Structure 1
Amino acid sequence: MKRMRSYILPVLSIVLFTGCMVGGKYTRPAETSTISYPNAAKMDTSVLASWFEVYHDTALQDLIKAAIDSNRDLLAAAARMEEAMAFSGAVKANMYPHLSYQAAAGGGKAGSDATKVNGGVDGGLLNVFGVLNWELDIWGKLRHQSRSSVDEFLASKANRDALQVSLVAEVASDYFLLRDLDNRLMISENTLAGRKLNTKLISDKFNHGYVSELDLLQARQQEAIAAAAVPSFRRQITLTENAIRVLIGLGPGPIYRGLSNYDQILSPDIPVGLPSQLLERRPDVLASEYALQAQFERIGVAQANMFPSISLTGALGFASPQLSTLLTNKGFVANGFGSLVGPLFNFGQNKKLVVVERKRTETLYYQYQQTTLNAFADVDNALASYRNLDEEYIARKQQVDAASRALVLSQARYDNGYTSYLEVIIMQTNLFDAQLLESTTMQQKLNAIVLLYKSLGGGWNMNN
């Protein structure tokens, strides 16, 4: 019998603290099984952890590392993550007994009638107590609160990781844009030098009466077009440099360059992985799910608030009107109390609050679904962009080659009197535009790879 009684208390404790827990258990939303990437060649996503290393341009790598270390938005996100981690620890502490102390010393004079109604103290008063307070988590309210706070921390961490992914991609995109602007500036300067020479030659011919003034004016117009492009690209270069320096936590100034866009070595054989892996890799998807999970736990908190809360309070210490008898058996105090507080009638308020939490959870569930759909679309869009930009760049190179040859032939026809200068102007314009478009397409092609890695969630755990 005694042995049986020794098992009663543990069994009752288990039933008391776990069997009465209200609220459901979170289950992950079903994965989308119909999503596929028909254009993906590789499925091993392990290299995505440090995908910025695919850039062999050391200048770009240094910029990315500087941004991760010094970007103010990323540092603020890290601080919010640490705040959420500390808060989750504070919430979890509510599940355990709290021990505090109190002490008082004083005295006074009060009449007999006053002392009967606790209106004052007649004489001295000295006490010192250790106090224990513990709210029993019978219905699981504190456990749900703790789980919710942990999920909020994980969502905060995922948001920080998502910001890092975007930051790395933005630095790389701006760097490729900067190198593209450098190239377009060089094209403009070379074009301007050529047109200045052409204007001088036509001016000499005009002075000798070989060509009309119209040809000279058209040559000067072409020279002015190239001359206007030079300061335009210089202005854009300054804006892009300052944008990059802000990302790496610096004030205005120049940016150190490395390889040109044409010398960048980037593999198009990108490990896309399975759709289920994308849900595990994309930090914005993870953040959305953790937010959903945190909100789901709040349903359990709201349900637990419909039941009474039970608290235990104990006090152990000494109390006496005189210091000489304070720490004696006469002054010893040991008290213990239990309290039960619960709702009786509040016009269905607690039930409505449960409905509120359920609807908030439903809202976050739909937001999670939308986030996953956007993630799948981002990957497919990036794959399509790279594939089409690769084909477009090949065509742009052919356009430049043809325009360059056409200008040589047109200039020869004009010099020998077989055509007007208008044909030369058209060929000059075609070549200038084709060279600028080729440079821009190369930059867009490189940025398509950046966007693909970003859409795959690469780069957020490179420090691990």
Structure 2
Amino acid sequence: MKKIITAKYLILLFCIVGLGACKVPAISGKEESKTVPKAYYNSQDTLNSTSIKWRAYFSDPNLHAIIDTALLNNQELNITLQEIDMSKNEIMTRKGEYLPFVNLSIGAGLDKAGKYTWDGISEEDWKHDPDKEHEYIGDFFAGANFSWELDVWNKLRNAKKSAVLKYLSTTEGKNFMVTNIIAEIAESYYELLALDNLMAIIQQNIELQTNALRVVKLQKDAAKVTQLAVNRFDAQLLNTINLQYEIQQKIIETENRINFLAGRFPQPIARNSADFNNSPLDMIQSGIPSQLLVNRPDIRQAELELAAAKIDVEVAKANFYPSFRLRAGVGFRAFNPAYLIKPESILYNLAGDMVAPLINKNAIKALYFNANLQQIQAVYNYERSILNAHIEVVNQLSRIGNFAKSYETKSKEVEILTQSITISNSLFYSARADYMEVLLTQREALESRMQQIEIKMKQMNAKVNIYKALGGGWN
């Protein structure tokens, strides 16, 4: 009867502890919004340029070779691949936590208690021989231990689900990095082509101005112009010669930027710059904004991180509930190895316990509150990713339209100023124009041609960036 009453009290005590532990503080989470505008500039066309593979989108074979090298050798990308493997190993760790643990152990030891200690002398030993020395006593053990935490509240399984989602998010992060690497290499490659064309224009102008200087010197010898005219033509030639050194430095730096992205030491970049001005600008199909949620790896990464953060809140919440564990052991133990495998040396145990926080739950409260705050942060990050993606697309669509018009206008200006050089030279040689008109026309023509190349480079960069903004390149 006494044992039954004691058991009732123990059960009652467990219930009180369990109920006290299960009280969870109230929190206010946040739900994400996936709302996006219905269209870009009132266009409902669902065709999207991201369906085009990057090899087809960028048709230059030299650019293909560089990108292929970068996707193999880029150090930052390879670091990310190792992080993905580490995330995958984290799943293995979490999965193992809700499976039983079995450990094998073998031990041996010797023990000798002090003569005048409770372990060193017994009552009979003291009566018969107070000076008797105790011998060494052995302790030999071989057996297995078993432990298993019962995942009653799905805390361990939820932790595994969170690890899986984080692993998937790192994979999407890798895809976003691939997109960025391809875009950065393509942008730098087109910048390199533009610099080559600028260098060619400057060298053409150097030749033109050298010929003009020669004519002016002849006219000065014939007393048709003064030394001032010679000096002005000479100064303009030197200024143009000086421009090529700055461009040459930019070419070296741009080549090395590409080499760095490709994971290799400095070397010349194979390229064909001759037809840069005629580089095609294919029609860009932007689709509709809702496609960004599927096509952009950074948005999908933020979405997976948000899903993981929501599960982390549930994991932290489960810390308030009691945890249940089974423990067992079986093996052989004896003071002499000769007796170790005898049936009399067998020992075993079986136990179960419940552990629940009752007083001073500040640590688990803090973890719970922080998990909720991290979930709210993940919501804001997800919404920010969507907003940023939409704005990037709108900006690049605008750039494509405006730079197309700008290039067309600048091309007309270049054509007019190129004609003006011939006209001004003819007028100057026939003494019907001042040399300042020739110098000014040459300078304006040089600047307009260089500006035309820069606009073309911006056009090509817009072509790269709209593909990136729409979520192309990684697949």
Give the TM interval when normalised to the shorter protein: 0.7 to 0.9
Counterpart for residue 338 of structure 1? 352
Distance 1:185 1:254 in 2: 16
Counterpart for residue 277 of structure 2? 262
Worse-superposed segment, 202-211 or 143-152: 143-152
Distance 1:184 1:46 in 2: 31
1:162 aligns with 2:167: no
Distance 2:445 2:411 in 1: 11
- Deviation digits for residues 13-48 of structure 1 (CA, Å, limit 9, x no counterpart): xxxxxxx9x999x99834214342137685344854
Structure 2: gaps of 5 or more residues: 1-21, 123-133
Distance apart, 1:156 and its partner CA: 1.6
Give the 5 Å matches for 1:433-444. Answer: 433-444=447-458
**8 Å contact 1:55–1:266 — kept in the other structure?**
no
Distance apart, 1:306 and its partner CA: 0.8
What is the aligned counterpart of 2:327 among 313, 325, 339? 313
Distance apart, 1:180 and its partner CA: 0.2
Distance 1:349 1:249, change over 3 A: closer
Structure 1: gaps of 5 or more residues: 1-19
Counterpart for residue 61 of structure 2? 58
1:281 aligns with 2:329: no
Worse-superposed segment, 313-322 or 384-393: 313-322
Give the 5 Å matches for 1:232-381. Answer: 232-258=246-272, 260-268=275-283, 270-346=284-360, 348-381=362-395
**8 Å contact 2:38–2:290 — kept in the other structure?**
no
Distance 2:446 2:135 in 1: 99
Distance 1:182 1:172, change over 3 A: same
**8 Å contact 2:213–2:234 — kept in the other structure?**
yes
Distance 1:228 1:201 in 2: 22
1:193 aligns with 2:196: no
Counterpart for residue 430 of structure 1? 444
Q: Output the amino acid matched with 2:277.
A: Y
Distance 1:158 1:121 in 2: 68
**8 Å contact 1:155–1:287 — kept in the other structure?**
yes
Q: Output the amino acid matched with 1:278.
A: L
Worse-superposed segment, 132-141 or 194-203: 132-141
Distance 1:175 1:29 in 2: 39
Distance 2:156 2:206 in 1: 73
- Deviation digits for residues 419-445 of structure 1 (CA, Å, limit 9, x no counterpart): 211111111111101110111111111
Counterpart for residue 207 of structure 1? 221
Distance 1:197 1:121, change over 3 A: farther
Q: Output the amino acid matched with 1:103.
A: I
- Deviation digits for residues 144-202 of structure 1 (CA, Å, limit 9, x no counterpart): 21122122212222222211111110000000000000000000001001100110011
Counterpart for residue 110 of structure 2? 107
Secondary structure of 1:251 counterpart: coil
1:139 aligns with 2:153: yes
The structure that has the greater radius of gyration is: 2
Q: Output the amino acid matched with 1:167.
A: I
Distance 1:121 1:374 in 2: 80
Worse-superposed segment, 183-192 or 142-151: 142-151
Q: Output the amino acid matched with 2:71.
A: I
Distance 2:53 2:30 in 1: 31
Q: Output the amino acid matched with 1:114.
A: D
1:184 aligns with 2:187: no
**8 Å contact 1:80–1:156 — kept in the other structure?**
yes
With normalisation by structure 2, the TM-score equals 0.86
1:90 aligns with 2:88: no
Q: Output the amino acid matched with 2:119.
A: A
Worse-superposed segment, 450-459 or 108-117: 108-117
Distance apart, 1:373 and its partner CA: 0.2
Q: Output the amino acid matched with 1:262.
A: N
**8 Å contact 1:311–1:340 — kept in the other structure?**
yes
Distance 1:209 1:75 in 2: 71
**8 Å contact 2:69–2:262 — kept in the other structure?**
yes
Secondary structure of 1:113 counterpart: coil
Counterpart for residue 17 of structure 1? none
Counterpart for residue 412 of structure 1? 426
**8 Å contact 1:56–1:265 — kept in the other structure?**
no
- Deviation digits for residues 195-251 of structure 1 (CA, Å, limit 9, x no counterpart): 001100110110111112222112112211211111121111111111111110111
**8 Å contact 1:164–1:459 — kept in the other structure?**
yes
Distance apart, 1:291 and its partner CA: 2.0
Secondary structure of 1:104 counterpart: strand
RMSD: 2.6
- Deviation digits for residues 271-315 of structure 1 (CA, Å, limit 9, x no counterpart): 423322211221111222222222222211221111121111111
Distance 1:393 1:174 in 2: 20
What is the aligned counterpart of 1:421 among 435, 443, 448? 435
Q: Output the amino acid matched with 2:118.
A: D
Secondary structure of 2:359 counterpart: coil
Counterpart for residue 11 of structure 1? none
With normalisation by structure 1, the TM-score equals 0.88
Counterpart for residue 8 of structure 1? none
Secondary structure of 2:409 counterpart: helix
| Aligned length, in residue pairs | 437
Counterpart for residue 400 of structure 2? 386
Counterpart for residue 17 of structure 2? none
1:69 aligns with 2:72: yes
What is the aligned counterpart of 2:40 among 37, 48, 60? 37
Residue identity over aligned pairs, in percent, reads 26
Secondary structure of 2:455 counterpart: helix
Distance 1:437 1:319, change over 3 A: same
Distance 1:78 1:358 in 2: 29
